[in-house]
Amino acid sequence: MWTYNQTYQYSVVTPEGTTGVESVWYMNDEVGSAVVHSSEPNCVMLPFIFSRGHASTIPYSVLFPIKDIAQGEIVTRDFIPKDLKEKLEREAYLAAFPGRIANEEEIGSEDDFIEAFEESTEATSKPVTSAKPINAEAILKMPTTQNVEIKVYTTADFVKQNLTLPHIVFTNDIQSADIIWVVQDFSDWDKLKSNQRISQVPNESCLTYKNNLAQLLSQTYGKVSWFPQTYNLINQLPAFVGDYLQRSRNLEDNNLWITKPWNYARGMDIGIAESLPQAIRQRETATPKIVQEYVDKPLLYHDRKFDLRYIVLLQQTQPMVACVYNMFWIRLANKKYDMHNLDDYEKHFTVMNYSNYQMTQIHYQEFIKNIEKEHKGLKWAEIQKDINVAIKDVLSAACIQEQPLGMASPPTAFKPFAVYGFDVMVTSDLKPKIIEVNFSPDCTRACQYDSEFVNNIFSVVDGRVGQIVSKTSQILLLSDKRQTMEWNGKKNSQLVGMIQCMCRGITKNTNA
């Protein structure tokens, strides 16, 4: 089907008055579908919409010649999008049309695609260790100033409703605020004053845009076990085709790919591509997309797929200090998992709370207890250590790589911090997979479970608020040469401080 499907985009106006673009997929009749590809076509075929006003519209495909056509000559048109200029890119796109290419010389070499794939898995800027150690206990010794009025500007309702620390005063004047917490994209960096703290980091889209995250991790580390292989369909088509063909040659079971828009959340416009043509053709949708390796052997909870949402605080970037909230959310599929019927959303996907599907809520402690009981020998504490390390490695890459690849930049007068939502899966062999990083996650649910959540976040973000972490906190240094600190503050506090700090710091090798 995807070898024959056609598409076009049209503009729509939302109820809010904004303009958007949507895609339409359609298929020509037997005559239109018989037209094949040539880079030197003799015809053009275009969609044409005839409108009868509000009553109805009638879509047509208009086919017309652009050069003389001899008797018996095959009718051709150019299938390739105009933005694909390089020879290998054009050949990779044509892999979606087997049997529909007039000139066999335009068919690409599988070996060339596989070579592009192998080159894409090599890190181009590897992190290396420096000799300067970082003291993990320093986070507990941040300078604090209590009994000082702190002005907070925020557009986050959960902050307004749950920030109850003494000496906090909310203000509507962003210029006078000591701490700024905004949930909309912020761009007025040059207007920030010295020592103002703001809940966004310049160029944090290197984490929160799926295409940028994949590029960041690939160029920093190469291929890693804790991040599914991911490709940007706009500029990595040859590498993706090479990966797909390599898996086919090796007769690998997993050659399924999740297709996702670069910057959508909540499971919007997500699907599973079962064939190479289907995956390639997602490049033509109105919203640019990535393809990501489908985790086909997940750890199951009562025979159902799940993923985990972790709330992560990036307290500062230079040097990096980050904390992961110990209470995570479990997002559970509604149906038992198998590899049949890949279009069944309730079987293969887990985000149910933004749809009409039933949503199952499980407390994280109940989840840990039950999954250890269900899978004999499973120790969640060991899995959690691996998850913490993977989260740390993601943030480390962002903090050491210079903009635009990462977030590193010259020092600024203002002091940024950020809260991210990390989505994590666990495989059947108990290894974590970082799926994506979400911008400004809604923390209302965290506040419902822990009334001190926002207070704890602010106490770690800014010492001027006052330190509320108790003196009886327990500090745990992990044995894998990465220093990870855990503490419990007031009753019900679930913060776990995860300090970016291998026993040695991380610096950037600009040409490794």
Domains of the chain: 1-79 (no CATH), 127-222+295-508 (3.30.470.20)
- Give the tokens for residue 288: 């640019």
Determine what percent of the chain is predicted with pLDDT higher than 70: 85
Cα separation, 95 vs 101, in Å, equals: 10
Least confident range from 330-339, 461-470, 472-481: namely: 472-481
The CA–CA distances, whole Å, from 477 to 180, 324, 481, 497 equal 32, 15, 8, 11
Residue 196 sits at φ, ψ, to 5 deg, of: -70, 140
Q: Is the pLDDT of residue 288 over 60?
A: yes
Confidence bin at 479 (pLDDT 50/70/90):
very low
DSSP string, 200-251: --TTTHHHHSHHHHHHHHHHHHSS-TTS--EEETTT-HHHHHHHHHHHHHTT
Q: How many CA atoms lie within 13 A of 68 on its CB side?
A: 2
Using CA atoms in the order 27, 32, 36, 39, what is the torsion angle rounded to 10 degrees? -90
- Give the tokens for residue 193: 């004053």
Q: Is the pLDDT of residue 486 over 70?
A: no
Is residue 111 classed exposed, middle or buried when 0-12, 13-18 and 19+ CB atoms within 10 A define those classes? exposed
Which amino acid makes up residue 97?
F
**In the prediction, which pLDDT does 478 show?**
24
**In this structure, are residues 292 and 260 in contact, taking their beta carbons and an 8 Å threshold?**
yes
Which amino acid makes up residue 275?
S
pLDDT tens for each residue of 93-138: 999 999 999 999 999 999 999 999 999 888 776 554 433 445 545 5
**In the prediction, which pLDDT does 356 show?**
74
Q: Which residues does residue 63 pair with via DSSP β-bridges, in sequence order?
A: 45
Least confident range from 161-165, 293-297, 461-465, 496-500: namely: 496-500
**In the prediction, which pLDDT does 138 show?**
59
Q: Is the pLDDT of residue 403 over 90?
A: yes
Cα-trace Rg, the chain:
26
The CA–CA distances, whole Å, from 219 to 86, 392, 446, 509 equal 22, 17, 34, 12
Who's near 356: CB < 8 A, 6+ residues apart?
none
Cα separation, 461 vs 415, in Å, equals: 10
Name the one residue in this structure whose structure tokens are 């925020």. 154
Cα separation, 158 vs 382, in Å, equals: 32
Least confident range from 23-32, 63-72, 352-361: namely: 352-361
**In the prediction, which pLDDT does 475 show?**
25
